Amino acid sequence: MAALTPLAVIILGIAAAMVLFTSSWTPISRRIEGFANSFSGDMEIVGMTIAPARLVFIVVGAGLALWLVVLVTLSPPLLLGVGLLIACIGGALFFARTYVERRKAGRIAKFQDQLEGSLRTIAGGLRVGLGIQQAIVMVGEQSRDPARYEFTRVIGLTNMGMSIFDAFDQLAQRMSNPETGMLARVIRVQAQTGGDLASVLENLADTIRDRRRLTRRVSAITAQGRATGWLLGLIPIGVGLFLVVAEPQLRDASLHTPLGQIFLATSLGLDALAIVTLMQLTKLNA
């Protein structure tokens, strides 16, 4: 009977945790849905078809799986284990949010690279007598994604009854870069004041070309600084991995003792902070 006591305690603990989780499921699900809705627009822009709430549940599950791996590997004490649980779930959510934002930034950058050619195509269509909508349709047919999708979306919105000015305003909100914002304002102002829209679009295309040239120059100037930052940030990690392999006693002290784990986590956090700081120091706005 005494041998069954620990098992009974474990079963009762699991049952109590399940009851507590079930009773608090509604507020937890609402918080998850609220967090998911905060970047649902970004997911729609990058073309992710999965529901935002489902993505968050998957990410939380991945964080729990990572936490279990860390528990099995390090066998930390109870208080540190709770901290690791929060860190793993928070890190997984941060990684998911960062992944979506990076994909969105990549799509916006690709659209920005295509915008100059698209504006010249629209200007050429206007010069041969096409209307603005017909010229945009021509751009959608001749371009690649994301320009093809975004300009086709503009035409789709106008076909549904939205004015072309509001459609371009939505395009500027989705592709949040200065050039697209200027395009939306140019379309609206030219429609109200009149004038040669083709010439204005060509001038805007020239401005975009000059900005891209300046951005490439800035990137080339700061390349050495960025490489130095990554090198200085990765050297401590490389030295640490070498010591883990070459010094088993130091490895065991770092991975399997509470004090060593605290020092290891602190050093990794400071090293990550150093890399981020060095990257910010070499970032210039064109």
**In total, how many domains does the chain have?**
3
Q: Check if the beta carbon of residue 227 is closer than 8 Å to that of residue 279.
A: no
The DSSP letter of residue 182 is: H
Where is the domain boundary, 106, 129, 154?
106
* CATH number assigned to the domain comprising residue 138: 1.20.81.30
The confidence score (pLDDT) of residue 10 equals 47
Per residue in 40-58, pLDDT tens? Answer: 777 777 777 777 777 777 8
Neighbours of 183 (CB within 10 A): 24
Same-domain status, 28 and 41: yes
Q: Residue with structure tokens 């050297």?
A: 235
* 195 and 232 in a common domain: no
User: Do 43 and 122 lie in a common domain?
Assistant: no
Token digits for 100? 């979506």
Does pLDDT of 189 surpass 70? yes
Give yes or no: residues 30 and 83 share one domain: yes
Over residues 190-208, the mean pLDDT reads: 81
Which one of 70, 85, 106 terminates a domain?
106
Q: Are residues 30 and 53 in the same domain?
A: yes
Whether residues 133 and 171 fall in one domain: yes
Evaluated on CA atoms 103, 105, 106, 112, the torsion sign reads positive
Lowest-confidence pick of 26-35, 51-60, 181-190, 220-229 = 26-35
Q: How far is CA 27 from CA 14, 22, 259, in A?
A: 21, 10, 36
Percentages of the chain per state (helix, strand, coil), in multiples of 5: 85, 0, 15
Question: Would you state the pLDDT for residue 257?
Answer: 77
Contact indicator for 184, 164 with CB cutoff of 8 Å = no
Q: Is residue 286 part of a domain?
A: no
Do 194 and 241 fall within a single domain? Answer: no
- Domain that residue 31 falls in: 4-106
* 125 and 33 co-located in one domain: no
Last residue of a domain, one of 62, 85, 106: 106
pLDDT-derived band of residue 34, with 50, 70 and 90 as boundaries? low
To 5 degrees, how large is the angle CA 46–CA 50–CA 51? 110
Note whether 97 and 185 are same-domain residues. no
pTM for the structure as a whole: 0.65
